[in-house]
Amino acid sequence: MRILLVDDEVELTDPLSRVLTREGYRVDVAYDGATGGQLATREHYDLLILDWMLPQKSGIEICQEIRDRGDMTPVLFLTAKDTLDDRVLGLDAGADDYLVKPFELRELLARVRAQLRRSLVGETAPNPDRLRVDDLELDPDNQLAYRGDRAIELSEKETKLLEYFMRHAGQLLTHNQIYHQLWTEETKPSSNVLAAQIRLLRRKIEAPGEAPLIHTVYGKGYRFGSGIE
């Protein structure tokens, strides 16, 4: 499997290249965006690992250029940019994953393996890991939801709760079912904590004028989806 690594931080790039090589990958390295863009265009790679801020051409530009050509090679961004707007911009440019510096090497290698597995089985955009119910889309890996023109940043707990709702849309989920999904027996909270978690999620995914998605079934639990009474 061939990987292109484009990053101008030599103190990061060279050790990372050696680690990836020891893992059995064939790694090409570029230290600026112009060279990286040329390699991405000329050669065939199974994964591109791109820094965001690069001399001569940014990682965003490289990603947009290959996507404009219809090239769906997986792209993993490594970047110090960690705001919601930055993450959304990177994903909208066509990136498949996003890892903020500094990062743990084990996590990077796990994400590399995940992207290469998806590439091998032909899992390209639209991302099969995303969930959609009505006009709401969830990207669990990046803890982001999208509704209309809004990008919604979620906490880990909110992501797990929303994913559980979306995978069981239209079904009555009891309080106990939700407790078991989100908490262990040792950390099981009071009913007030669950109600508060639901309120926080509602505020984020149900803006004024949007159809409600989380519906309370009094005394029992909740149903998820629009058009449910």
Give the residue extent of every domain in the chain. Answer: 2-120, 131-224
* Block residue for tokens 């309120």: 199
Separation of alpha carbons 98 and 63, rounded Å: 13
Note the CATH number of domain 131-224: 1.10.10.10
Q: In which band, very low, low, confident or very high, does the pLDDT at 186 lie, cut at 50, 70 and 90?
A: low
Q: What integer pLDDT is reported at residue 116 of this predicted model?
A: 84
Does residue 5 or residue 179 have the better pLDDT?
Answer: 5
Read off the pLDDT of residues 157-173 as tens digits, 9 standing for 90 and up: 999 999 999 999 889 99
- Please enumerate in sequence order all residues whose Cβ is within 8 A of that of 173, keeping only pairs 6 or more positions apart, or say none: 164, 165, 221, 222, 223, 224
Q: In which band, very low, low, confident or very high, does the pLDDT at 123 lie, cut at 50, 70 and 90?
A: very low
Separation of alpha carbons 19 and 38, rounded Å: 24
> Looking at the whole model, is its pTM more than 0.85?
no
Sign of CA dihedral 153, 154, 160, 166: negative
Q: Are 215 and 222 in contact (CB under 8 A)?
A: yes
Per-residue pLDDT for 129 more than 80? no
Q: For residue 100, what are its two tokens?
A: 């903020």
Q: What integer pLDDT is reported at residue 222 of this predicted model?
A: 94
Neighbour tally for 131: CB within 10 Å? 18
Report the residue count for the chain: 229
What 3-state DSSP class applies to 198? helix
Q: 54, 75, 55: which is closest to 64 by C-alpha?
A: 75
183-190 average pLDDT score = 69
Q: What integer pLDDT is reported at residue 124 of this predicted model?
A: 44
- Please enumerate in sequence order all residues whose Cβ is within 8 A of that of 61, keeping only pairs 6 or more positions apart, or say none: 33, 37
Sheet (strand 2-6) strand order: 26-30, 2-6, 47-51, 75-79, 97-100
Q: In which band, very low, low, confident or very high, does the pLDDT at 122 lie, cut at 50, 70 and 90?
A: low
203-208 average pLDDT score = 93
Q: What integer pLDDT is reported at residue 125 of this predicted model?
A: 46
Per-residue pLDDT for 100 more than 90? no
* Lowest mean pLDDT across 17-26, 139-148, 201-210: 139-148
Q: What integer pLDDT is reported at residue 201 of this predicted model?
A: 96
Q: Please report how the helices 59-68 and 33-42 are oriented relative to each other, as an axis angle in degrees rounded to 10.
A: 20
Note the CATH number of domain 2-120: 3.40.50.2300
Does residue 109 or residue 148 have the better pLDDT?
Answer: 109
Return the beta strands (E) in the chain as ranges.
Answer: 2-6, 26-30, 47-51, 75-79, 97-100, 131-133, 136-139, 144-147, 150-153, 173-174, 214-217, 221-224
